[in-house]
Structures are given as C-alpha cells and as structure tokens.
Structure 1
Amino acid sequence: MTKTKATLIGFTAVLMWSLLALFTIGSAPVPPFQLNALCFAVGGLLGLMWTARRGFVVLREVSWKVYAFGTLGLFGYHYLYFTAFRLSPTAETGLIAYLWPLFIVLFSGLLPGERLRAPHVIGALIAFAGAAVIVLTRGGEAEGSVRGLVLAFLCALTWAGYSVLSRRLGAVPTESVTVFCLATAALSAAAHLSLEETVWPADASGWAAVLALGIGPVGAAFFTWDIGMKRGDIQLLGVASYAAPLLSTLALIGAGIASPSWSIAIAAVLIAGGAALAARASARVT
C-alpha cells in the first residue's frame, strides 16, 4: 500500500467523524457511556466479521500490551471527553479537546523517519484557528469548571498520543482494533452502569442512528484511522482532521439542525488554507 493511498484511507475516518454530531443527536436520549457501549459493540462485531476473512489467529499473535494500549487509547479518550463536557459543557471545552490534531502534528516530529517542517506547524495552527471559529461561535450551555478544561486537555493529549504511537506499532495488524473496540464497549458498559441511568432509543430512527454510529464514526473510522496513522502522511492527516468540525457543521445545516453563517465560510477558508500549506510541505519532503 502506498503512502498516498493510506493517507486517503485515513482521511475517510475524518469524513465519518463529521457525521458524529448528526447521528448522536438522532440517538437521543441515550446517555453518553451507554451510547458508547452500544456503538463500540457494533464496531467490534463488524471487526470480527472482517477479521474472520483472514482468520482469528492473527488476533492471538498480538501482545496483550498492544491490546491494553489500544483499549486505553479508545476508552480513555471517550471517558475523558464525556467527563470533561459533563463538568464543563462550554465552547472552550470543545476547543481545548480539539487540540489533538495540532498535537499529532507536533508529536510526529519525535517519530523516527519523520520530518516535521515549519509549514506543517503553521498549517496546523491556521486550521486550528478555523476550528476555533466554528467551536466558539456555537457557544456553550453553561458555566465551565477548571477541572473540565483540564480533562479536555488530557483528552486531546490521549488521542494524539494514541494516534502517534500507533505509528510505532506498524507491524501490528489493523485487525487488532477489533479487540480495542470490544474492550472499550465492555468498559463503557461498566461506566454506564456506575454513572448513568439506562435510557433506550425512543423509536426506530433512534436505533438507526445508533447503528449508523457503530458502523461509521464509532466503528469503521477507527480501523481506517489506524491504517492512516501507521502507513500514511501523519502530519497531513493531523492538519486535515480539522475538516471534521467544518464538515460536521455542514452536515447539521444540510439536516436543517443548524443555520449557515459567515463564520462557517471563514472557517472553511482557514481550514482549507492550513491543509493546503501542510500538503505542500509534505510534497516537498517526499
């Protein structure tokens, strides 16, 4: 598989994550950890069906340390994310949580064989500014807390660390993500039973939204992201990830849930410009 193909496959995860908000709204009133458990269970089952083609022996060959790493990455990120917004449901919390693409770009410079150029960093900062325009203009629902903001920062570090360290596990088959998903589903179920009241989807459309989440944004996306992180252009993928909040907003507009505004146009220019700068830098490196 070429680096370009792996990068394109990795970007499909960003496209799927852009539908996360739309499907999450459709899955209401299911609480976060219960929703997480259901979706990761669906994603894990899909992974089992995919792994069956190659044989489950490939899963037995993976070290338990890798499974622990992957599970901590997926569950740890979502646990910190949900808890941060529970404590501080503000735009600032969302913005801090969205530092992870910038951290991916910065951390990638520590990887052997990777060359981090100034345009990568500048492009990431420009794209982050575009994401900031979207997140901050959405506003928040309540006053935040310092603890929530700290957890949002840890959330961003967790996902960036998981993504970048996945590069060091290039020899580990992507099928291992199946176990990450199933283990995350089990831990999410435990968190749900401890912290939340069980509430099932209200109707068929709610169940369809849960299924769609498990198939895409909280399922296949983690498999394609794994391919992108291990074999693709990690700096370019980091910057391109800022397209997710923009595409998410456009999806909400298309569904009639949000309204178009000038801030979206400004964000689009910033994010596209940042990604273009990073892409140009990557082209020069190769």
Structure 2
Amino acid sequence: MEHTKGNILGLITILLWSSLALFTVYSGSIPAFELLSISFFIASFIGLLMLKNQKRKVKELFKIPIKAYIIGVFGLFGYHFFYFLAIKNAPAVEANLINYLWPLLIVLFSAFLPNEKLKWYHILGTLIALIGAILLVLKGGSFEFEIKYLAGYLFALFAAIIWSSYSVISKTLKHVPTFAVTGFCILTAIFSLIAHLIFENTVIPSSTELFAAIMLGLGPVGGAFYLWDFALKNGDIKILGSLSYLAPLLSTLILVIMGVASMSIYISLACLFIILGSLISSKEYLKLIKGIFIKS
C-alpha cells in the first residue's frame, strides 16, 4: 500500500514540477536566488505546518542526523545553485539538455541500491523518454558544444548529478522522517538569501511577481520536495526516474495552453516519445495494476 502511495505521490510531484516554467515566467524580474529564497521560505512554513499537524515540536528538527542535513541541503541548494550558474554560463538549450540527464541518472544510479534490480525495459524506456526530452528542448533548433561554454556545461552536469544522487541516496534514508525536509528548506532559504546578497541586486516584486514566487514555494520549488521525499522512500525509484521526463513535457504543454508558447511538430513528437518511454519503464507496475483490476 505504501509502495503504491509512494508512486502516486511521486507522480503528483512531477505534476507540480510541470508548473515551474509557468510561474517562473510570471515571476518576471525577480533575480534567481532572490526568487529561491522567497520560495524556500514559503516551503519552510509548509513544513512547520506539517509539524504542527503531526503534533510535533520544532525542536525535533534538531534531532535529525547531521548526515541527513548535509544530504538534504546538498540536494536542494546544491542543485539549484549549479543549475542557475549553468544558465548564466552557457546557452539555455545546451544547459537544459545536459540538466535533463538527471532522470536517466536516477534510473542508472538506482542499480547500486540494495534489493534494486535494473531491467532492460527500465533502461530502454528511460532512453526513449530522453530522446523526447531532447526534442522538447531543441524545438527544431540545433545545439553546438563550444569550448568557451565549458564551465556552464560542467555546472549543468553537476546539477544533474547532484539531483539524481540526492534522490537515490534519499531512498536509503527511510529512517529519516519526511518532516526533516522542513530543516532542509530552512537552510536552503538561508543559503539562497546569502547567495542573492552576494551575486544579485534586490528587486521589489510586483503583486503578480510576488504571487508567482509564493506559488512556486507552495508547489514546484518547495511543497513538491516533501512529496518527493516520501515518494522516493516508499515508491519504485526506477519508475519515478522515468516518469520524471513528464515534467518538461507537461511544463511545455501548460505554456502552450496558457498562450505563452505555441504547439509544434517537435512538441508532438516529444510527447509521443516521453509517454512511450514512461509506459515501457513502468511495464512491471502497469502489469500489476492490470492484475488488480482483473481480480476485482
């Protein structure tokens, strides 16, 4: 039951991540780290409400092992830090293309976990979904890896490795309760604020921009991390890794629906590849669901 719930919450997390691009667009002129600090402060309040709902005290956050905090901040802050550095030091297309290796890396890294077996359809499905992600990022254009952007490419690769390794390592921390993410978010908010004060000029957001920042904190850059933590610790990490390619696809479709982007043949092909790849990777789980319906 927990296994199924974990996969479902993982899918909900991916749906939340699909709103990232839309709210980022509406966040307008808010600098990256300022936006992150606002979003993660909102995410921290979600965690504090979770603690209150579970009748726990804030001091329980101090009982979480230091190792868990290092891993949590490494994942949440480390990923976003290197991702934004990548965007600033390399063309967005190439940076995003390298960054979207993280779902594939989750599937591959999961092979090193105890009692986890990587089967041919996990790899095949994830690779097909990766092709879809590439089509989605390129949008009919092309990309050229230039040596002058090497630092940016490396930052994007670091981001992909950090998020995938954080996700896989979290699978091994079942003894660490999900409310620990509250502490991760608080520290990430603080580090993001420090990065903002060092690298950026403060911008007073408009009401629309502030609303977008709050929504990011409630959803894709905040609240989603609590769901992801539970999903990783209780669901099938290989399926979750493959399904993660739905995030850029759904994100693009939302932009199309909202009139921010337009539909194209490349988006249609990407849709086909990503859905096909996700279904192939989830072959084992889909068979289980089919069996449940047949029995009932």
The separation in 2 between residues aligned to 1:124 and 1:223, in whole angstroms, is 24
CA-atom RMSD in angstroms: 1.9
Counterparts of 1:240 and 1:141, CA distance in 2: 25
- Contact 1:40 1:181 (C-alpha < 8 Å) held by counterparts: yes
Q: How does 1:104-253 map to 2 (within 5 A)?
A: 104-137=106-139, 145-201=149-205, 203-253=206-256
> 1:251-284: per-residue Cα shift (whole Å, max 9, x none)?
1111111001111111111011111111114457
What is the deviation of 1:89?
2.7
SS at 1:30's partner residue? Answer: coil
Query: Secondary structure at 2:261's aligned position in 1?
Result: coil
Q: 2:26 is matched with which residue?
A: 26
Structure 2, unaligned runs of 5 or more = 290-296
Q: What is aligned with 1:15? A: 15
After TM superposition, the score normalised by the length of structure 2 is 0.92
2:88 corresponds to 1:72: no
Q: Which amino acid aligns with 2:153?
A: L
Larger mean CA deviation between 231-240 and 54-63 belongs to 54-63
The separation in 2 between residues aligned to 1:208 and 1:118, in whole angstroms, is 44
Paired residue for 2:269? 266
Query: What is the TM-score normalised by the length of structure 1?
Result: 0.95
SS at match of 1:186: helix
Q: Tell me how far 1:12 sits from its aligned partner.
A: 1.0
Aligned AA (2:108): L
Preserved CA contact (<8 Å) 2:98 2:153: yes
Pairwise CA distance, 1:4: 1.2
Which 5+ residue runs of structure 1 have no aligned equivalent?
none
Name the structure 2 match of 1:81. 83
Residues 131 and 245 in structure 1, CA contact (< 8 A), matched pair in contact too: yes
Quote the sequence identity (%): 43
User: Is the CA contact 1:27–1:209 (under 8 Å) kept in the aligned structure 2?
Assistant: yes
- How many residues of Structure 1 are paired with residues of Structure 2 in the alignment? 285
Query: How far apart are 1:61 and its partner, in Å?
Result: 2.7
CA contact (8 A) 2:94 2:143 kept: no
Local SS of the residue matching 1:109: helix
Q: Distance in 2 between matches of 1:175 and 1:133?
A: 37
SS of residue in 2 equivalent to 1:218? coil
1:121-146 residue CA offsets vs partner (Å, 9 max, x unmatched): 01000000001001011759998701
